[in-house]
Chains A and B, each alone.
Chain A
Amino acid sequence: MKPLFEQDHYEVLEIPRDAAPDGVERAYRLILSTYSEDSLAGYSVVRGADAAAIRERVETAYRVLSDGDARRSYDASLAGSRSAGEPEPMPEEEVVEPRSAPAEPFEDLEEGGDFDGARLRRARLRRGLDLEEIAGKTKVNPSYLGCIEEERYSELPPRVYVRGFVMAYASCLGFDPGAVAASYMRRYDAERPRQRRRFSRGT
């Protein structure tokens, strides 16, 4: 491990050298929020000028790595400094690459089986997404998304809409929308008659 101000831009953003542009973007947002003034993770140890200095360093790294040309040029300079045989600042210290990309925490542990509301919620949390973000992408009201997760079918509009919402939601999570909708709607069809038909009565 190296102190922050000896880290290169990739180390600052805690991403591998081959991180895709959206990985750079996600990492930037996460690190920036980590060192924001009201951050739960950072406030007790990194405050004031220290936090501001880290944010500035993060902004610099992001400016370079989010710009294709600037990044290529930076990569070349990193490779150049290596090939010129310049010593690393702390040669005996190995930089440990992050073992998983931020905000895509546990994709290797995806579940099997049917898609119910709880499974959709777990998949959403695993991707670090809140309901508002899903709503922003799908244009589905977040309260409906919440009802889908909690299987409060009677508070949802008619079936045809629910199926569409589930497909949009599944697509947003990277699942096959048709497969998820088929699985979810089987459960819906079995359970829906048992729930009070509050929505259809217009209450």
Chain B
Amino acid sequence: MSANPGQNAVLADAPAEQARAPRRPPAAIPVGGGKGGVGKTFLVANLATALARAGHRVVAADADLEGANLHTCVGVADPGPSLADFVAGRTDEVRSLLVDTPIPNLRILAATHGNFGHAQPSQADRVRLMRQLRELDADYVLLDLGAGTHPAVIDYFMIGEAGIVVITPEPTSIENAYAFLRAAFYRRLQLAMLSHRVRDLVALAMDERNERGIRTPFDLLREVRALDPTEGARFVETMRAFRPRLLVNEARTAEDVKLGFSVRSVCRKFFGIDAEYLGYVNHDEAARHSVRSRRPVVEAHPRSDAAIYIERVARKLVAGLARSGSTAEEEA
């Protein structure tokens, strides 16, 4: 498939210094959360726009073939090329599927026109997709993940260490977020462990009602150490490297703001996962209006509460990635 005709317009708009600078892989930022309706797509669209407005070259990829609407949130009515073309084998080149948006510096990989007969790509396709996303000529690649904890969703969270987990102040969201984090951590472990016996043990632990009574990663670590001390050390390394970022959406009260700290505490004390509290976005009618007008709120209503909070989260994200020197290359 040929490249989108307007694709290069974004690159032409990029500052000359960026064009001349040696190319480095983009920082990949998957955005998940387990539950649908918590605002993942809205946040991806707006964080991507905030980063693009700050002069970064950004690609926002919709990884939700069953509920694609990222394109709508950034004002692209019919993107044409889509991830579905890659899944269906109509093209092997992800970059040829990128589409310009009305926002300078922001391109999207849409997920429209999926084949509902086999909506999800195979694991091999997911690996190829993530590899190509990490090779894109961009500063940041954000991935909008679907709901649930199926490997088809969780695998995308592996694309970078800077993954964001979106929660809202509701029990259903919190419950699903823990399930998502647990699934993501165990999936990461499965990929990191070398011994078959330990991988089998991790697979067993993924069943919450497993017969060995393994309830938390700490329980699992104890068992892994008993089985294979070398794998135990690898386990600890994996645990240490897994640093998901928590983002509270639809915060209305001070209690909602504190929720991020409480979830972080549970992650640390109960799961052994050192999550970071990235920030929160206030409930704001301007957000709803912006979705209805199919424009990111940071562009349509830049002085609104929601826009100010999102800009702040974007700045914190960039600062955190710069501190950790995180790039997709290092994370891979």
Contact = CB atoms under 8 A, between A and B. Distances in A.
B261 A125 contact: no
B259 A40 contact: yes
A102 B175 contact: no
B265 A109 contact: no
B308 A41 contact: no
Majority SS of interface residues in chain A? Answer: loop
Contact of A30 (B171, B251, B261): B261
Given A1-B239, A45-B266, A109 B305 contact: no
B166 to A, nearest CB: 15
A31 interface: yes
Interface stretch (B79-87, B157-165, B268-276): B268-276
Given A44-B174, A99-B276, A105-B260, A125 B254 contact: yes
B277 A3 contact: no
Interface residues of A, number: 40
B265 A129 contact: no
Contacts of A93: 236, 240
B311 to A, nearest CB: 10
Contact of B178 (A1, A45, A121, A125): A45
Interface in A103-132: 103, 105-106, 109, 111, 118, 121-122, 124-130
Contact of A103 (B178, B251, B261): B261
Contacts of A1: 239-240, 268, 272-274
A109 B312 contact: yes
Interface string B175-193: 1001000000000000000
A31 B282 CA distance: 23
A3 B270 CA distance: 8
B257 A105 contact: yes
Interface string B244-273: 000000010111011111110110111011
Interface in A9-25: 14
Interface string A77-117: 00000000000000011101001101101100101000000
Q: Name, among B259, B261, B266, B268, the residue most crowded by chain A CB atoms within 10 Å (CB to CB).
A: B261
Given A99-B276, A106-B316, A130 B262 contact: no
B315 A125 contact: no
A39 interface: yes
A45 to B, nearest CB: 6
A66 interface: no
B274 A96 contact: yes
Given A45-B178, A45-B270, A102 B261 contact: yes
B315 A100 contact: no
Contacts of B282: 122, 125
Contact of A14 (B169, B233, B251, B268): B268
A129 B266 contact: no
Contacts of A133: 254
A100 B258 CA distance: 12
B124 to A, nearest CB: 34
Contacts of B169: 40
Contact of B265 (A14, A43, A103): A14
Interface string B131-145: 000000000000000
Contacts of B170: 40
17 contacts: A1-B272, A1-B274, A3-B218, A4-B269, A30-B258, A30-B262, A41-B262, A42-B262, A43-B171, A45-B270, A92-B236, A102-B261, A106-B312, A125-B251, A125-B280, A128-B254, A130-B253
Interface of A: 1, 3-4, 14, 30-31, 33-34, 39-46, 54, 92-94, 96, 99-100, 102-103, 105-106, 109, 111, 118, 121-122, 124-130, 133
